[in-house]
Structure 1
Amino acid sequence: MTELRTGGTHVLLVTPFLPDHERDRESLSSLIEHVLDAGADGVIALGTTGEFFTMTAAERADTVDEVVELVRGRVAVTVGVGSDSTAEAVKLARHAQTAGADCVMVLPPFYFAKSADAQLAHFSAVAEAVDIPVMIYDGADGIEVDATTVAALAQEFDNVKYVKMALPAPQRVAELRRLAPQVTVFAGDDATLVSALRLGAAGSAIATGNFLPKEVIALHAAANSGDWDKASEVFADSLLHGVAATANPKNQFIARIKAVLAAQGVIAHATVRPPLAQLKPYETEDLLASVRAAGIL
């Protein structure tokens, strides 16, 4: 098992698809090499960016197997096990552990978004089912996981070691560190990355690293050295433009990231699966013009 490195980025991988919506292993391999060659500290498969919600359980299991095989132990592999069904999340987590993943990322149950009790039961079941580390996803689809819930989980389960804090509220990082000091917090909101690092995030788990991995890593290097002016400069010069171009409208962010990756030649196709919609030709043209003007292409 590879410990998750701190001080850098764990890239939330997209899942490449062929035009017929079948999974594209060749492009997945290309994407993994792209982010690892840039120096990424880890990869996260089957997060929201990875379109897990469009995939069958068998496809998710196969994707985990492929990612672990393609990474070959060079960095830590974290696997998203998001499901409203606790039993299904447990099954996915157990498969991830058997396949050789280093960590599982657990999303809160969507249908009980405001229930701390439901979250606690869901997270506890997954943590109890596996021996590998667990990452709690705070902010999936805007769903908050209270810091007291994280603290209770970390107190009871030694393998609850990480939190991905994906809400645009970097002050939550400081709260999590105060109430659950044994848990490592990764910044999960691309737009507030610098602020989250300033407040104690130990690294990032963001999607921008798919198409700007070198820039994300350069930002972390500056932050690690305490050069916050440089970190802000890197963000303003490149990441800000990439985030702005791909993040809105929110329901298009995966399609937009894939369009940029396809234009970069990292993946073969920008295909997304329903219910996500492909970008219209003019939307792709406008997007690529924006990132080209920003020097991303």
Structure 2
Amino acid sequence: MKKAEFLTPAVTIFDAQGNVDREGNVAVYDHLLRGGMDGIVIMGSTGEFFAMPMEQKKELIDIAVPFIKGKGKCFIGTGGLVVNDSVSDTVELSNYACEAGADAVMIVAPYYFALGAADLEAYYDAVASRVKGDIYLYNYPKCTGSDLSPEITLNLLRKHPNIKGFKDTVDCFGHTRAIIEATKDEFPDFVVLSGYDENLYHVMLSGGNGCIGGLSNFVPELFAKWCKAINEGELAVIEECQRKVNALMCIYSDRAPFPHIAKRGLTLRGVPISETTRHFSVAPIDTAKLTGLIEGALK
């Protein structure tokens, strides 16, 4: 079995005016790295990239990369809407991140208008040929309307050696398993990561590499413990961690958007941040329930 790794798609901390909060973001990164995370993804979905203008994204890269580099892996989400020439915007931000020293960029498919298989492959062809660094494909069909199939993935890997990995945020684990099965013989070093926390062990048993999961924002210690148990074959601990993660998964179906909940979870853990978000929500957060789930996860 490969060595399990867990990366956090970190929240982005903003001040009350919606500006990037340098101290708050550094506090989050420090919390995650001290909690045992193998790396941090900046501007994944949990990081509210969809609500940030280009210059703000570059500002966050300038904060995150120097702090994280050398302490853990640093990936930068660089995908975006199909507006204002999405290919050019994605390439510009990707190359900015690579030049800043990021380990890789993670590129979600364009969204709002779903792309068919041929157009989806053509989009990644156009981007990958111009990005001067390593790329992780980010498959999130629930939000993009498009699916990176095993066939498309293999086609892209055969053309673009800088495509190094895949994050699969799907409800059906069979899809992730199919990606692993399709790529493992021809591209044995291709990294496949689950986008849902509960699937970490399933991914490892199927020959994958780990997970990029949002719950680790506020309980990184649990996921670090789980990876250690998987890597050392401690079955009783693996089972214990799986039960705790299963209990936490209900947070994703809460009425409040997940970035709101993740920031509340961080403040409950004592991380000094603002809970300001860049996207609108008036849905209440059940703080008592969240507190109980965090306490149970950390026992």
Structure 1-normalised TM-score?
A: 0.89
CA distance in 2, matches of 1:74, 1:213: 15
Letter in 2 for 1:191: E
User: Post-superposition shift, 1:165?
Assistant: 1.1
Structure 2 SS opposite 1:10:
strand
Q: Does 1:185 align with 2:188?
A: no
Q: Does 1:172 align with 2:172?
A: no
1:95-106 aligned at under 5 Å gives the runs 95-106=96-107
1:272-283 aligned at under 5 Å gives the runs 272-274=277-279, 276-280=280-284, 283=285
Q: Does 1:32 align with 2:29?
A: yes
Structure 2 SS opposite 1:9:
strand
Conservation of the 8 A alpha-carbon contact between 2:98 and 2:133: yes
User: Post-superposition shift, 1:18?
Assistant: 1.7
Conservation of the 8 A alpha-carbon contact between 1:186 and 1:201: yes
User: Post-superposition shift, 1:241?
Assistant: 3.0
Partner of 1:226: 233
Q: Does 1:163 align with 2:166?
A: yes
Distance 1:74 1:289, change over 3 A: closer
CA distance in 1, matches of 2:261, 2:218: 11
Q: Does 1:240 align with 2:241?
A: no
CA distance in 2, matches of 1:188, 1:226: 23
Partner of 2:224: 217
Q: Which structure is higher in RCO with an 8 Å CA cutoff and minimum separation 6?
A: 2
Q: Is there any run of 5+ residues in structure 1 with no aligned partner, and where?
A: none
- Most deviating of 39-48 and 264-273: 264-273
Letter in 2 for 1:146: S
User: Post-superposition shift, 1:6?
Assistant: 5.2
CA distance in 2, matches of 1:146, 1:157: 16
Equivalent residue in structure 1 for 2:293, among 277, 291, 294? 291
Structure 2 SS opposite 1:62:
helix
Letter in 1 for 2:90: A
Partner of 1:266: 271
Distance 1:250 1:22, change over 3 A: same
Letter in 1 for 2:95: R
User: Post-superposition shift, 1:114?
Assistant: 4.4
Per-residue CA distance 1:27-55 (angstroms, 9 max, x = gap): 11111111111221111000110000111
CA distance in 1, matches of 2:255, 2:101: 33
Q: Does 1:76 align with 2:73?
A: yes
Structure 1 SS opposite 2:129:
helix
Q: CA RMSD in A?
A: 2.1
Structure 1 SS opposite 2:257:
helix
Partner of 2:205: 198
Q: Is there any run of 5+ residues in structure 2 with no aligned partner, and where?
A: none
CA distance in 1, matches of 2:3, 2:125: 24
1:87-98 aligned at under 5 Å gives the runs 87-98=88-99
Structure 1 SS opposite 2:211:
coil
User: Post-superposition shift, 1:75?
Assistant: 1.7
Conservation of the 8 A alpha-carbon contact between 1:90 and 1:125: no
Q: Does 1:152 align with 2:155?
A: yes
Number of paired residues? 288
Structure 1 SS opposite 2:239:
helix
Partner of 1:67: 64
Letter in 2 for 1:217: A
Structure 2 SS opposite 1:132:
coil
Q: Does 1:56 align with 2:57?
A: no
Q: Does 1:18 align with 2:15?
A: yes
CA distance in 1, matches of 2:297, 2:199: 21
Structure 2-normalised TM-score?
A: 0.89
Identity among equivalent pairs (%): 24
CA distance in 1, matches of 2:35, 2:150: 33
